[in-house]
Structure 1
C-alpha cells in the first residue's frame, strides 16, 4: 500500500459500524489498520457526542462528525458546534408539547427531555437504549437547553405532518433506530446534514470530496454518500442510498465495514496480507 493516496473515511455508527451499540472486532481492527496506513478515520453519526460511549470509540478515531453534521471535532479540536437558534428552538418544542410527542433534546454535553420521557421511550421499544438513559437529564424546565438535534417517539402526527407544522427551516427524518417504528424520527436544522460536517473536515485537512470514503445505511446518510468520492451503502439500506453507492456491503453482523476497507485497499500492508 506504500504510495497509495490517503483518504478521509467517514463511518455511520448505528447499523453500519455498530449493531445496537456493539462494535464487531473486525470493524475495530479495520479502523486501526486504516489509520496505520495513513488514512484519517472519523465517525459520522446522527448521535450527539454525549451518546458515544467508550466501547464505540475504543478503536481510536481522528475525530467525529456528530449530531448529523452539526458538531465536528478533528484531532481533539472542535471545528463546529451548531445549535438551534433560540426562537426556532422554542417554536419546535411548542409544537411537540402541543401534540404530546415524546422527545429528547440532544446536546454534546447530555440529552434532555420532559419529566417522564424515559418511560415513553422505553414503552416505544420495550427498552430504551442504555446509551440514551446513561446521559438523559429531565430537569423540568427545558427552556435554557441549547440543542443541535431532537429525537422523538410516540408521535400522533406523521413525519409529513410534522414537516408541515415546522416549516422549511426544519428537517424531519425517520429514526435511526428502526425498531422505534413509524411514529419516531429525528428533527434537525434543514441546512445541516452530514455532508456539511464532512466538508468542514475535508477543508481542514486540505483534501477534496474525491478523497472521501463514506459508509452508511440510514436516511440521514444520503447527503454524505452523495458528497463522497467513494460511497458505500449497507445491504438493505433505503433505495436512494443504494442508488448513490459505488459499493454495497453487508451489515455489522457480517463485518461489512471490514469488507469495504479490504475491497477499497484501505488496510495497511500488514492487515492486507
Structure 2
C-alpha cells in the first residue's frame, strides 16, 4: 500500500458535513507511515473545505469525476478536461428528447451556471456560487468540465439507463446522488480511474499498490482499477459489484477500519 485514493461524500463525509474522528485519525496515521493520500471526488474545487479543514489535507484532489486535478494547498488547477460546446448542445438535445422534463446546468472552471427549474423545490447550496442563467455558447470560454442534467421524478438509475446508451459516443455519463435523479456528464473517456492512474504513474506507483474507497456509480472505474478497491457496504449495488473488496458501512467508519487493519498488517510485515 503506497497510495490511498478515497472518494469523499458517503465514503468518509456524512450528510452533516462531518468526518468522524476515527477516520481523521486513520488518515493521519497513514500519512505518518509515509503513504500518499489523494482524494478523488465528483465535487468541484470550491467544495473541498471539509477535506482541508477536518483532515488538514493540502495536497492533490482529483475533482469533477476526474475532469480537474487541483492543488488544494496552492488553490490552483493543475490540469483539466473540458467538454466542447458542440457536445453540450448535442447532449442536451438528446436528453431533452428522451426525458422532456430535464433541466440542465454547467459546471465550469469559474463556477456553476444553471437553467431556471434546475433546483425545483430544493434550495441551492449557500456556498455554491450559483450564477442562474440561460446556458449560452460563450460559457464554454470558462472551460466546461461537467454537464449536469436533472429531472424531479424517478431515480438516477432509471434516468441513466434511459439516456446513457444514446450518449456513449459523445460524453461520459455517471451519477453519484443517492436520492436525486441527477446525471453527471464529462469529457468522453475521462473518469476517476483515468486521472488517478495518470496521477499514480507520475509518482511511479502501480495500480497494485493503490487502495481505493468509494460508494457510488461514479466510483466504479476507480474501484475496478485499483489493486485493492473497496466499496463501502452501505454503497450503491453497482459500486459493490465493481469492487473486489468490501469495506464496512460508512456508519461504522468503514474506511477507517480498513486503513487501521492494513497499517497494522504493514507493521507486522
TM-score, length of structure 2 as denominator length: 0.82
Tell me the distance in 2 between the aligned counterparts of 1:213 and 1:266. 15
2:128 aligned to which of 128, 131, 134: 134
- How far residue 224 of structure 1 moved from its aligned partner, in angstroms, is 0.5
Unmatched runs of 5 consecutive residues or more in structure 1: 1-5
8 Å contact kept, 1:163–1:172: yes
Secondary structure, counterpart of 2:70 in structure 1: strand
What residue in structure 1 maps to residue 81 of structure 2? 82
What residue in structure 2 maps to residue 3 of structure 1? none
Secondary structure, counterpart of 2:69 in structure 1: strand
Cα distance, 1:226–1:268 mapped onto 2, change above 3 Å: closer
Cα distance, 1:152–1:23 mapped onto 2, change above 3 Å: farther
What residue in structure 2 maps to residue 47 of structure 1? 43
What residue in structure 1 maps to residue 147 of structure 2? 150
Tell me the distance in 1 between the aligned counterparts of 2:137 and 2:187. 18
Secondary structure, counterpart of 2:138 in structure 1: coil
For 1:188-203, what aligned pairs fall within 5 Å after superposition?
Answer: 188-203=186-201
8 Å contact kept, 2:105–2:135: no
2:33 aligned to which of 20, 24, 37: 37
What residue in structure 1 maps to residue 11 of structure 2? 16
Structure with more contact order per residue of length (Cα contacts < 8 Å, sep ≥ 6): 1
Tell me the distance in 2 between the aligned counterparts of 1:72 and 1:262. 28
Please say if 1:101 is aligned against 2:96: no
TM-score, length of structure 1 as denominator length: 0.81
- How far residue 130 of structure 1 moved from its aligned partner, in angstroms, is 2.5
Tell me the distance in 1 between the aligned counterparts of 2:123 and 2:202. 37
What residue in structure 1 maps to residue 90 of structure 2? 91
- How far residue 78 of structure 1 moved from its aligned partner, in angstroms, is 4.0
What residue in structure 1 maps to residue 160 of structure 2? 159
8 Å contact kept, 2:113–2:135: no
Tell me the distance in 2 between the aligned counterparts of 1:103 and 1:250. 35
Secondary structure, counterpart of 1:158 in structure 2: helix
What residue in structure 2 maps to residue 205 of structure 1? 203
- How far residue 246 of structure 1 moved from its aligned partner, in angstroms, is 4.5
What residue in structure 1 maps to residue 223 of structure 2? 225
8 Å contact kept, 2:200–2:207: yes
Deviation string, structure 1 residues 228-262 (Cα, Å, up to 9, x no partner): 11111100334443344343223332211111111
Please say if 1:184 is aligned against 2:182: yes
Secondary structure, counterpart of 2:144 in structure 1: coil
Please say if 1:258 is aligned against 2:256: yes
What residue in structure 2 maps to residue 7 of structure 1? 2
Cα distance, 1:161–1:144 mapped onto 2, change above 3 Å: same
> How many residues of Structure 1 are paired with residues of Structure 2 in the alignment?
254
Secondary structure, counterpart of 1:149 in structure 2: strand
Cα distance, 1:90–1:106 mapped onto 2, change above 3 Å: same
